[in-house]
Amino acid sequence: ANYFSKFSKAPVICKLVGRKVLDGVGQPTLEVEIYCTVKNYEKRICSTVMSSHSQIPENALPETTEADEKERNDSVNTAVEWVNESLNMMLRGLKPTDQCKVDKILGEYFTKKVEEKKEVQKQEEEEEATLALTSCTPSATSLPGKKKSAKPGKKVAVAERPIPPAEPAESVLRGSVAIGGTSLAVAKAGAAVSHIPLYLHIALLKCDQDSLKEMTLPLPMVTLLNCEKISPAKLRLVKEVMLIPPVQLSLKQGIERVLDIQKEMMRLLQPPDEAPSSQVADSKKGRAHNTGKKAPPRALKRISHLGCLITGCDNLEQPLLLMQTVCNNIGLELGTDMYLAINCAAHELMDYLKGKYEILTGTFKSPDEMVDMYVELINKFPFIIALIDPLRKEDRQQWSNICCALGSKCYLIAEDAATYISKLKTDQNINVPMCSGVVLKYINETKVSDLIELTGLLDGQRHITILGSPDGESSDDSLVDLAVGLGARFIKLGGLSRGERVTKYNRLLAIEEELAKNRTLRGANLEFIAFAEESQPEKQLSDVLPPPKQDSLPPQLSQPALQVHSLPAQ
């Protein structure tokens, strides 16, 4: 039977099923199931659940949040309809291993829907023109632009130059999540019918098999602290404080070290009047010991949707000094045993009335002052090796300035400062500010082929690639396989709490174990740059991680690469 099965027809897609499910924060999202005809029988192959993503900032008005939730619900309903009707018919009979052909069909379908939407909008505008109601529409659409362009003009006497107005939010077609969900589901089905892991299937789609003798694991950016921005906390600049384990450690050792830091951080953040659970159990006259029951583990009472601890700070140095204290308490040294990355989320801080960033409650800085502040911060805390979104994407001159000042000491990453993958792919010059790399998120109409093409383009232009999870994460762990298969330098998954995030770290650990067992693990765990001598006053970025490729730095910062020492396989 096994012998003759080799001559059977290759599996083909016979049915797609879309349904509305909930993500990790209780928001509606899309699940896509793939059924294939295997040896004349219909068989369910796999499913994927898309992560939800919102452009609405944390401090948005309740009315704005409600409107966004309604639009998201309508979008998921439309996506379910697309999958169960149009896409189900269009992809029937195709091989799940033919990713390029599937993505081409999905792209053409999406383009058709975009054109239909434009036609509807054009007809609506013509109808409004005939009714002489055009004055309502421009006022509603241009109001933010007028505020942002006119107000800075009044501040010319105070500021050296007006700030660039915020670019309009990129429109998202209702139902577009069906395109991304279907493309990823087909990729998982292709891996399943080929009897290989998804990460290997993605890697084979990106490059030929001869170059896949070894694979590299991305370094995790593990979020430890989420700095809340509500009273009485004053610090607004820092959104996330993330830990990056050193490259000398295996992924498993790095995660264990992060967990040790998290436990000590929980102990320090615990209110002094709150006794640990073990003390509470002991105080109950030994009842826990008499009954043979163990005291329950301490509950994480303040956990963000990002899976990390929530705390409030009053100044920029407070969370960094707190991290130093935690590491010192357990015998670790920041800058040697662990490194930090900061997600600044500067786009959420701009006060367009003043034309400045509100970094602390009541404290404002211009874009040029922000650059000086970051330079001083990195010089004082050299263990910070990455800044994410230190400025708005509109402040391109300041991005250039900060890259010139800090490009050799720190990765400068664009997350929200970057545009969507669809536009990054069409703009061959990577339409983002000067930066070291970009955080890519698999959302909306993104297709697997788009990610493969874009990461190849980023690699060619010497940018680093970071795969990041959206705020509304799901329990689907495909993002990890995508990061490994695409050869991403980092992966940003949030904290080590909440099941939908921990399951991805577990998947990353499983891939490391599998690659090590097959002797195909290469990269950060088995080769690194030699550290500078201890007498050197400060370490360069190349002493901490595999160095940023030279073309990602301004010409005046490009230096000869240090000698690379490869460790023998363990």
Q: Which two tokens stand for residue 233?
A: 């906390």
What is the spatial distance between Cα 494 and Cα 530, in angstroms, rounded to a whole number?
Answer: 29
Place of tokens 């010991």: 289
What interhelical angle do 367-380 and 396-406 show, nearest 10?
20
- Classified as helix, coil or strand, 506 is helix
d(CA 352, CA 395): 13
**What SS3 class is residue 348?**
helix
Q: Tokens in use for 498?
A: 């909440």
Query: At how many degrees (to 10) do helices 448-460 and 177-194 cross?
Result: 90
User: For residue 20, what is the enclosing H or E element?
Assistant: strand 12-22
Between CA 475 and CA 23 the distance in angstroms is 8
Name the active-site residue from 88, 343, 401, 444. Answer: 444
With contact defined as beta carbons under 8 Å apart, do 334 and 340 qualify? yes
Phi, psi angles (nearest 5°) of residue 128: -65, -35
Pairing of strands 28-38, 41-49: antiparallel
| CA separation for the pair 561, 462 (Å, rounded) | 14
Helix, strand, coil abundance in the chain, percent, nearest 5: 40, 20, 40
Quick one: tokens of 331? Answer: 């015998």
Instruction: Name every residue whose Cβ is closer than 8 Å to that of residue 188 and which is 6 or more positions away in sequence.
Output: 34, 45, 46, 47, 48, 198, 478
In sequence order, the β-bridge partners of residue 536 are none
Closest CA to 495 of 235, 310, 270, 229: 310
Q: Is 88 a catalytic residue?
A: no
Q: Which of 176, 17, 24 is nearest to 504 (CA)?
A: 24
Is there a contact between 210 and 481 (Cβ–Cβ < 8 Å)? Answer: no
Residue with tokens 């097959």: 518
Cis peptide bond N-terminal to 164, omega within 30: no
Q: Give, to the nearest 10 degrees, the angle between helix 478-486 and helix 198-206.
A: 40
Structure tokens belonging to residue 507: 């998947």
Q: What residues form DSSP beta bridges with 38?
A: 41
Asked whether the CA dihedral 470, 478, 464, 380 is positive or negative, the reply is: positive
- Alpha-carbon separation of residue 81 from 43, 47, 201, 399, 457 (angstroms): 22, 17, 29, 42, 34
Active site residues: 444
